[in-house]
Amino acid sequence: MSGRPGRSHEPLHAVQFYSNETCLCSTIATFLGEGFLKGQPAIVIATEAHTTAILEALVERFIDAPSARRAGDLVLLDAKSTLAALTVGGNPDETLLDRQVGDLIRQVLGGRTRTSVRVYGEMVDLLWKEGRADAAIRLEVLWNRLAERYAFSLLCGYSVGNFYKQTTQFQDICAQHTHVYGADSQGSRPEPRARLT
């Protein structure tokens, strides 16, 4: 069963590079908040510290996050445990991603066919920080494949500190995204990847 909406949904797969975590969480809250205003539910896959900061930033934008959570329109997942659940032999597994995240997207949509889910994820950032760049890129590829089956827009977060020693694969990461936020830019409009080349 596909999570595709009845209307055309152009997948957004954006990346936010950050050095300032306050700016990161502000961008995420804007991304999610705009979705809530459009009736789009949200899934956050983040560290505990970032999740707390994102919730605070949503409250600052007058978004009733507790009510959204109770209604099932805001689902919070721990990035580390979610990553462990969809990894086999050190690599992200497509079937497990579909089972862990694809099924959740369908559940959160709850039969709503004319909307999509907004997802923020930083599992790729955890992989990159562990020096597992190939696994991070593979997960980005799997996210793109998942977007062919389910209706969601995805924002990924990467610390720019990850790339000081691993510069060769920076373009590989950008190539997997439709839009790119420069480090610590704030707002809701990511720059299209093509403008960065």
> What distance in Å separates the CA atoms of residue 36 and residue 110, rounded to the nearest whole number?
15
In the β-sheet with 74-78, what is the strand arrangement from edge to edge?
74-78, 42-46, 117-121, 152-159, 13-18, 179-181, 191-192
The percentage of residues in the chain with a pLDDT greater than 70, rounded to a whole number, is 86
**pLDDT (mean) for 82-98:** 96
Note the pLDDT tens digit of each residue in 103-121.
Answer: 999 999 988 888 999 999 9
Place of tokens 């020096």: 131
Name the CATH superfamily housing domain 13-196: P-loop containing nucleotide triphosphate hydrolases (3.40.50.300)
Note the pLDDT tens digit of each residue in 136-194.
Answer: 999 999 999 999 999 999 999 999 887 766 667 888 898 999 999 877 555 444 433 33
Output the pTM of the full model.
0.87
Identify the bridge partners of residue 7 per DSSP, sorted by sequence position.
none
Instruction: Check: CB of residue 127 under 8 Å from CB of residue 82.
Output: no
Note the pLDDT tens digit of each residue in 38-52.
Answer: 999 999 999 999 999
Place of tokens 């990850």: 162
The percentage of residues in the chain with a pLDDT greater than 90, rounded to a whole number, is 73
Instruction: Check: CB of residue 147 under 8 Å from CB of residue 11.
Output: yes
